[in-house]
Amino acid sequence: MSIAAHIVIALVALLHIWFLALEMFLWDKPAGRRAFGTTAEFAAQSKVLAANQGLYNGFLAAGLLWSLWLGADGVAVARFFLGCVLVAGLYGGFTASRRILLFQAVPAAVGLALSWV
């Protein structure tokens, strides 16, 4: 894989670490509520669900970082986890918020494309 692919994969991983932090630790705080446009009441009621979602984002980040650690042997791992991110981003973008397409699906698609170059 190219250096550009590695950089995009690392950025996607960092984004998912940020999503983990927002959903697991900041969900009911002003920063989390602002990021997701939720009310204090909704954030309090959905905090456990958001933390679960954040944990899954952490697994995606871990898989992407693992693929980088594997070096040349991590191409298939990177493609698998980028594919998971892309599918999750497409689903979220069409069911929850179009912004998810921009912040999750597009970076994953770019990473996938670069992994083939």
The whole model's pTM is what? 0.92
- C-beta atoms surrounding 39 within 10 Å: 9
Residue 1: predicted pLDDT: 86
CA gap 22, 81 in Å, rounded: 20
85 close to 12: Cβ distance less than 8 angstroms: yes
- Confidence grade of residue 78 (pLDDT, cut at 50, 70, 90): very high
* 99-108: pLDDT as tens digits: 999 999 999 9
CA 43 to each of CA 17, 93, 98: distance values in angstroms, whole numbers, following the listed order? 20, 20, 20
* 54-65: pLDDT as tens digits: 999 999 999 999
Percent of the chain with pLDDT over 70: 100
Residue 117: predicted pLDDT: 87
Q: SS3 of 25, please?
A: coil
